[in-house]
């Protein structure tokens, strides 16, 4: 099955590294023009320079800070005044790790602004063109923790679950416009985020980061953590015409990590 996204425009959050970067690379390989979003202009410029343009793509980037909603909302509004997207990948960095008893109400508000408000606002802006064009793909990068919460990620557990249920509701409303909305429940992947979380856990438990990683791999039925490229493959399929009948879903990509159905 060959997937062509030629002529499609994609906007990808958190795309200067890790999963977001892998998604951008795979969408571009399939012919889409991609606009990257991140705080690091230097990283964005380097990625753009390496993306393929052999199918007539025109790539770009936005320098944004998802943690500053007021600033972010101005930047993204200005972008949509002169641009449109067919494929929206809602992805941001995660909030600070920590258990429920370590967080206060201000922490939850910051996480809500980071993970939920940015997603809903960006989607609202993207939907105008998608509805007019009767075609669109909205893909939310979420986590397996919305089904099986991780005790050290209380903020992420809580707010990402809200994003997933919102996505399910939205899918019902935009389905008649041939717009699909799906959430991906992310397992363990070889990213800087995992390295940061493992470093913190290793310090707290007084063991090595290698031991933390080995324990993670042992919990995954396929006995390894994921390659971000594999994530990009799934997103590219969901963004294509081949996935037109898939919407309102929450799809785990976790090597079998989740124990629940």
Helix axes 192-205, 209-219, angle to 10 degrees: 110
Q: What is the pLDDT along the chain (261 residues), one digit of tens a residue?
A: 889 999 999 999 999 999 999 999 999 999 999 999 999 999 999 999 999 999 999 999 999 999 999 999 999 999 999 999 999 999 999 898 899 999 999 999 999 999 999 999 999 999 999 999 999 999 999 999 999 998 889 999 999 999 999 999 999 999 999 999 999 999 999 988 788 878 888 788 888 888 888 989 999 999 999 999 999 999 999 999 999 999 999 999 999 999 998
pTM of the model: 0.95
In a domain, 201, yes or no: no
pLDDT at residue 203 in the model = 83
Question: 49-76, pLDDT tens digit by residue?
Answer: 999 999 999 999 999 999 999 999 999 9
In a domain, 245, yes or no: yes
In a domain, 222, yes or no: no
In a domain, 85, yes or no: yes
Q: What is the CATH classification number for the domain harbouring 119?
A: 3.40.50.720
- Cβ atoms of residues 238 and 136 within 8 Å: no
In a domain, 141, yes or no: yes
Q: Per the structure block, which two tokens stand in for 182? A: 């799906």
Q: CB count, 10 Å around CB of 133?
A: 13
Which range marks the domain in which residue 36 is found? 9-188+227-253
Domain count, the chain: 1
pLDDT at residue 252 in the model = 98
In a domain, 219, yes or no: no
In a domain, 216, yes or no: no
- Cβ atoms of residues 31 and 4 within 8 Å: yes
In a domain, 137, yes or no: yes
- Cβ atoms of residues 53 and 34 within 8 Å: no
């Amino acid at each position: 099955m060959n997937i062509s996204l030629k002529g499609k425009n994609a906007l990808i959050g958190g795309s200067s590294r890790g999963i977001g970067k892998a998604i951008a690379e795979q969408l571009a390989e399939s012919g889409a023009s991609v606009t990257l979003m991140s705080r690091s202009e230097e990283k964005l410029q380097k990625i753009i320079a390496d993306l393929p343009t052999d199918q007539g793509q025109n790539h770009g980037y936005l320098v944004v800070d998802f943690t500053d909603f007021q600033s972010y909302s101005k930047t993204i509004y200005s972008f949509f005044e002169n641009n449109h997207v067919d494929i929206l990948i809602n992805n941001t960095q995660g909030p600070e790790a920590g258990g429920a008893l370590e967080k206060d109400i201000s922490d939850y508000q910051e996480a809500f602004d980071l993970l939920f408000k940015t997603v809903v606002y960006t989607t609202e802006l993207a939907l105008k063109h998608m509805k007019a064009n009767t075609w669109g793909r909205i893909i939310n990068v979420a986590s397996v923790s919305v089904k099986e919460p991780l005790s050290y990620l209380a903020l992420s557990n809580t707010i990402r679950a809200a994003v997933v249920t919102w996505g399910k509701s939205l899918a019902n409303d935009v389905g008649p416009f041939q717009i699909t909305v799906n959430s991906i429940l992310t397992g363990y992947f070889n990213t800087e985020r995992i390295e940061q979380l493992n470093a913190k856990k290793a310090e707290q438990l007084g063991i090595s980061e290698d031991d933390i990683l080995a324990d993670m791999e042992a919990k995954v039925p396929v006995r390894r953590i994921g390659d971000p490229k594999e994530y990009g493959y799934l997103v590219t399929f969901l963004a294509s015409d081949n996935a037109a009948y898939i919407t309102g879903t929450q799809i785990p990509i976790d090597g079998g990590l989740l124990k629940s159905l």
